Chain A
Amino acid sequence: ETGVTQTPRHLVMGMTNKKSLKCEQHLGHNAMYWYKQSAKKPLELMFVYNFKEQTENNSVPSRFSPECPNSSHLFLHLHTLQPEDSALYLCASSQGQGATNEKLFFGSGTQLSVL
């Protein structure tokens, strides 16, 4: 148990669907992250929230919309996705973005398939 919980673990959706991924951390951290892992590619940073404020948007298409209502919860709202968006979406948390020698704690991820 890493202290970061993601739901659902698996999601299959059509290109016209709207769905949301949920992440919750029980570690008392102040920063939360969304990463995308596609097959045979490095982890790609998508969004960062630090103390509920979005601090990074790594040129992510608008069909991905993050929401961070508090430091413990993070959502990724999905709308009109493309098949190439199929990937493992990982949530992570850390003490606070930019802290020296920062370590990330990851959830188990949501395996997304877009048909």
Chain B
Amino acid sequence: DQQVKQNSPSLSVQEGRISILNCDYTNSMFDYFLWYKKYPAEGPTFLISISSIKDKNEDGRFTVFLNKSAKHLSLHIVPSQPGDSAVYFCAASARNAGNMLTFGGGTRLMVKP
């Protein structure tokens, strides 16, 4: 059973608007969450992370929100740019599981000019 789920396989957004990518998890022991971005023919690259002691982390156009009670996190990109078009993976880890990352299935974001 998948412990980290990204229920939307794809998302299309107009340039300049906000992109919201969602991720749900089932393991309440997860205490660190990350977002990775993947372009075709390249490996995933780290984008932004959040610890469970926070509910928001911001880095430029990227903000990650964590709702522990709902076991839900989201990545907001604003304003979206065509270069943001990629597959975004959510990942989570737990200290009591050796901090091994568990990945979601990914969401393909398409930002239209």
Contact = CB atoms under 8 A, between A and B. Distances in A.
A40 B105 contact: yes
A113 B26 CA distance: 33
A108 B106 CA distance: 17
Contacts of A103: 34, 46, 49
Interface of A: 2, 4, 6, 9, 40-43, 45, 48, 56, 90, 92, 97-109, 111
Interface in B62-102: 89, 93, 95, 98-102
Contacts, number: 63
B59 interface: no
B93 A102 contact: yes
B49 A101 contact: yes
Contacts of A56: 100
A33 to B, nearest CB: 9
Contacts of A111: 41
A40 B34 contact: no
7 contacts: A42-B102, A45-B100, A102-B99, A106-B44, A108-B43, A109-B42, A111-B41
A12 to B, nearest CB: 16
A104 B101 contact: yes
B9 interface: yes
A102 B33 CA distance: 10
B21 interface: no
Nearest to B97: A98
B27 interface: no
A106 B45 contact: yes
Contacts of A100: 32, 95, 99
A48 B101 CA distance: 12
Contacts of B2: 42
A42 B4 CA distance: 9
Nearest to A106: B43
B89 A105 contact: no
B9 A40 contact: yes
Contacts of A108: 41-43
